[in-house]
């Protein structure tokens, strides 16, 4: 694959068309391919790991496709962007799928929204915050990062999820959102950047994040 080539990992875990379409719009000069084999992913200069649905299903599909080793290698050697469940899979485990191991590339786990903040009796208007968390929310940038270039702090991004990551290392918090609690919605570690929100559904801010990823040199 040519320079600026991007592999969008396809392990059968959901519809990738919106991710690919947004990447091609944001970076028409890049060679963007949906990849189903380890060889294709290994050849790419950059890797996007999307995920849709349940943590356990996504991990099992990645394993069945034989893509775990090449994704792990990519996360150590080239720019990798995780999206939604693609973020969650980078961690060690999830409450959604007890007994299923994540990739373990980042220390920490994945928890479900729960507690007093999501109890109808605790809300002033008597209304519980809904799970899944679905819709537009502001994202706070705790620290500068190349993938935030040109994106204002507290910009809105689009979310659809019932679970959120809990990184063990606060230094890896790259974005935070308030929804009942202040949760981590983006992480950064070396050549990894990953988001719980969907850049491909987040209008101009999401497209800018994809542009930044294409040109990122960690």
Residue boundaries of the structural domains of the chain: 5-215
The encoded tokens of residue 152 equal 């204002």
Q: What is the pTM of this model?
A: 0.93
The encoded tokens of residue 151 equal 């994106």
Query: Out of 35, 58, 161, 200, which one is annotated catalytic?
Result: 200
Please check whether residue 88 is in contact with residue 138, taking contact to mean a CB–CB distance below 8 angstroms.
Answer: no
For residue 212, give the nearest of 147, 124, 115, 141 by alpha carbon: 147
CA atoms within 13 A on the CB side of 169: 12
Q: If you classify domain 5-215 with CATH, what class do you get?
A: alpha beta
H helix runs in the chain, sequence order: 17-26, 38-43, 55-64, 68-77, 85-88, 203-215
- Tens of pLDDT, residue by residue, the chain (218 residues): 444 899 999 977 667 889 999 999 999 999 999 999 999 999 999 999 998 889 999 999 999 999 999 999 999 999 999 999 999 999 999 999 999 999 999 999 999 998 666 655 444 554 578 899 999 999 999 999 999 999 999 999 999 999 999 999 999 999 999 998 999 999 999 999 999 999 999 999 999 999 999 999 99
Active site residue 35: no
Active site residue 198: yes
Query: Out of 35, 58, 84, 185, which one is annotated catalytic?
Result: 84
pLDDT for the residue 3? 43
> In sequence order, what are the residues at sequence separation of 6 or more whose Cβ sits closer than 8 angstroms to the Cβ of residue 125?
none
Tens digit of pLDDT for each residue in 118-130? 655 444 554 578 8
Query: Out of 35, 58, 161, 198, which one is annotated catalytic?
Result: 198
134 alpha carbon, distance to own chain's centre: 15
Following DSSP, what letter does each residue of 60-80 receive, concatenated?
HHHHHTT-HHHHHHHHHHS-E
Please check whether residue 59 is in contact with residue 96, taking contact to mean a CB–CB distance below 8 angstroms.
Answer: no
d(CA 154, CA 175): 9
């Amino acid at each position: 694959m040519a320079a600026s080539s991007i592999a969008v990992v396809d392990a059968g875990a959901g519809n990738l068309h919106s991710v690919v379409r947004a990447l091609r719009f944001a970076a028409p000069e890049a060679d963007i391919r949906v990849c189903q084999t380890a060889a294709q992913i290994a050849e790419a200069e950059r890797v996007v790991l999307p995920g849709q649905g349940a943590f356990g299903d996504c991990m099992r599909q990645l394993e069945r496709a034989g893509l775990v080793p090449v994704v792990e290698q990519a996360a150590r050697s080239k720019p990798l962007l995780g999206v939604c469940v693609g973020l969650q899979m980078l961690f060690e485990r999830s409450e959604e799928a007890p007994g299923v191991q994540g990739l373990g590339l980042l220390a920490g786990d994945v928890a479900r929204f729960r507690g007093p903040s999501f109890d109808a009796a605790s809300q002033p208007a008597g209304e519980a915050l809904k799970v899944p968390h679905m819709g537009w929310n502001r994202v706070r940038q705790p620290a500068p990062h190349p993938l935030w270039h040109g994106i204002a702090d507290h910009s809105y991004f689009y979310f659809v999820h019932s679970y959120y990551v809990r990184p063990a290392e606060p230094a890896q918090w790259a974005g935070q959102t308030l929804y009942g609690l202040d949760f981590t919605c983006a992480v950064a570690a070396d050549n990894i950047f990953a988001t719980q929100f969907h850049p491909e559904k987040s209008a101009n801010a999401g497209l800018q994040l994809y542009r930044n990823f294409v040109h990122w040199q960690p």
